[in-house]
Chain A
């Protein structure tokens, strides 16, 4: 680690990048990540990538440090770097190689997120000049239930675990690996198409980086790739200095792990001093049997997200974000889980709670900035089975928005994805045309946001009718413990999952797998966000709205 840093600083001094050239390269390098994103989105097969944009593309320096990222969802920020580091460590890459991985214990997040990494070589050079990578959420990666978000108790039940392996070697597809991968997933055709799209995006990114170094000079590009993270680190340090120094602690609980453990605590202590932050998760529960464990990559992403929000929108996303921040997460805990714990929900649920707990702690440091708890769940719904009308297997995954937590300046948004996700909904007219499902209603859960000087946003109610026998998994949070308000604001309403079968509705758990028959319905009601500030007088128009 030390040696690498030394190497970096030695090279940085060789070419000086002035503050203008740096901004020019900021544009140029970000453009490459963006272009990869455009290419991936447009050639992908699954609605999950095209319609929901559950992917990201990024550019790395020769040592695997993140230089630029086009991320549509924050949970990929910061965690992709760990994938690239793992790929480099495990599988040194020759020209034309592409490494594939998803192992949460070797740089991945959860199994459906498949990351591809390729080196970028300049002509006549023997070592990679940099790396390009992308990560896409595949709608199925095998495992116990379709959609690969099962309520498992160890990772091997969650799907195919891929350590860093060469998918492409010296420009040739490694068909053995591809076949093994496809044989372990449910909708193989779609998987193949999405992988091809990921590969096409990598090729474009690599070509563009080579072109840029040809145009602007290899040394200058290399210097910019090191200077950009240093610049981001300066911005982050400056942002941290603006917050009142001190030690801030908070605690909150996960509802349950889906395997019997209730009220699983996440505790954090944030120490702010001299433009640096130490985020210490000691006191957080040990890893649990159910699949809500977060590995270190996910926890890192959640912490970075919080600090990026505090630093402001325009801060370039790269390895420098991490520089002034230190994360202490006890190994084997809920926020730094070890093999073989199950992690499908860590990425989507626990990551959201880590954000809320951090904000809760920081609410005392920066009450003029920090919002109340958001809906606190991505409200995951995955389903699969045999589509009897279209004569094919299907697997479908979606996340359902909730209410945002209110902040110091205005009432919060309703029906919106918050914090670690920003994926789009699948259009009803696209969904019904492709899968044996019908959406019965899709509405805002009025009054579910916590009241306060500023109201928390309202959650959503989405009711789905099944037109084929299937297996459905609902993986949700905040069904037991409500999203908190801050500064005297009231908590948001808890979510509620209901199942209509055999002629009547019944309430089901927050994390549950259901066997559904034709005509059965599942209704997911998502939580509202917490309110902000004490409400001065009761508002009479509440009755009306």
Chain B
């Protein structure tokens, strides 16, 4: 177990290192630079200003040199300054990372806590009305563009019904628990929808698969209650593929978070990375992407550990059960 963890973490670090190089390279391939953008539209700026600012921000040096500097700094714990925010990258990212994790964690919980019972309900009698209805809703959930859903949710719950705040993280000057919670409701719902539908579909398929196994038939024949069959025998065994999907889907949750954060003016990682890329803030974009990657990799490792907790028969060998 420890050996496995060490190996997985080592692999993850390699992936991160490769990512850092590739991303830095891709960022260098982006046209224009932040100075041009900053000065766009202001006719008073002279070329001397541009050259001066470019040198000041270190943009006049070649890519490899800058990457080398960055890597050396990063290994010494200095991840550099964000140009857009004028603050150390970690200072910018740390609170946003927490915000994102909160948002994603809650959305994940909501999705799981609805998806699991729903998939069991659907799988109990495949083809039944319940099953078809759940199926339809799932398909609807994965087919609706996230930003469109966000807009509809804002219009319905915030503007028309006035139930929840339309955006932001907290009422300024309040920021109490209730207030923060109220601000989280709509973003969490929006983000949960797609994952919820995805998990339910996979959960249902896994359940159906498991319920067809011989041992379930045996259990039924032995007169085990339907409830026990569904939950103790079926559900537990169906969890493994579902967890795989959830771990893999963590990256997608990040993508969804980007949209949700934009629509709800929620300060999270996704939006920050997007702004950093669009604003040519190399340091911020890079570290943000690496953090996001690190988190999804961590989710994958966590899933591997979860398998053993659910099913002690699985031993960690570095291979995910297919």
Asked whether A and B interact, the reply is no
Using CB atoms and an 8 Å cutoff, list the residues of chain B in contact with chain A: none
**Residue positions of A touching B, CB distance < 8 A:** none
